[in-house]
Homo-oligomer: A and B are copies of this chain.
Amino acid sequence: MPRLLGVLGGMGPLATVDFLGKLIAENPAGRDQDHVPVITYSVPQIPCRVEAILGNGASPLPAMVAGLEVLARAGVEAVAIACNTAHFWYDDLARVSAVPILHIADAACADIAAGSCVGLLGTEAALQAGIYQSRLAARGVRSLVNAPELRARCVLPAISLVKQGRAAEAGRRLEPAIKDLLGQGAETVILACTELPVALDAIGSDYRRRVIDPARALARAAIAWSFA
């Protein structure tokens, strides 16, 4: 029997559904019974993570802790969080959680070779949290970000459009930011916000071959954990 996974979701709701889809798509199982058993807590009525990190709003930590407790009481043996920005509070969550929490950046960075150069796309808040930069530096990988102006023009609107269900528009808005990072010498680009892969998928973007989708990497890690 595979182990029961908990998913702390709702940040946002569509990214959570996207993650659950990847948990199926990345598993070669042919039968229902061979898929990961999972309980998902997706309650989007939670303070905005971005505003909290930037110091403009209430902390989402109590709501996240409440979700973790519901999952642990329901019997999950580990938790995945389908939101990069929420990992800003990873250490606080891990300290109080009754079960281990799989880290999205550990999963995304697992296969990146030392000496390479990686671009990072995400909210200001996610980048400020530094969850990718610290792991990449520790592996001897250089990281690049867009200039703030380009980020404001491409990345934040793309995230917002996905949350509004306008994923194709989001994809077209996002592509120039990826092109910019590749032009600066990045060999691959980490899409450090769970909404961004949804945007590229919606337009079948060619850039998908040049990016790492942390949610997909987390799904693979969760499948490996469940069946270990």
Q: Which residues of A contact B (CB under 8 A)?
A: 1-2, 4, 10-14, 16-17, 20-21, 24-25, 30-35, 37-46, 70, 73-75, 163-165
**A25 to chain B: which residues have CB within 8 Å?**
165
CB of B165 within 8 A of CB of A1, answer no
CB of B37 within 8 A of CB of A40, answer no
Specify which of B2, B17, B45 is in contact with A24 (CB 8 Å cutoff): B17
**A70 to chain B: which residues have CB within 8 Å?**
39, 74-75
Instruction: Specify the chain B residue showing the minimal Cβ separation from A22.
Output: B17
Give CA–CA (A20, B74) in the complex, Å: 20
CB of A39 within 8 A of CB of B38, answer no
CB of B24 within 8 A of CB of A165, answer yes
Give CA–CA (A37, B30) in the complex, Å: 31
Least Cβ distance of A27 to chain B in Å?
A: 9
CB of A32 within 8 A of CB of B11, answer yes
Give CA–CA (A1, B45) in the complex, Å: 8
Instruction: Specify the chain B residue showing the minimal Cβ separation from A74.
Output: B70
Give CA–CA (A203, B44) in the complex, Å: 32
- Contacts beyond the supplied A17-B20, A39-B40: 6 A-B pairs with Cβ under 8 Å: A1-B45, A2-B45, A12-B35, A13-B32, A16-B20, A30-B164
**A42 to chain B: which residues have CB within 8 Å?**
20, 37-40
Instruction: Specify the chain B residue showing the minimal Cβ separation from A66.
Output: B75
Give CA–CA (A12, B31) in the complex, Å: 9
Of listed A13, A16, A164, residue having the most chain B CB within 10 A: A13
**A11 to chain B: which residues have CB within 8 Å?**
32
Specify which of B35, B38, B74 is in contact with A74 (CB 8 Å cutoff): B74
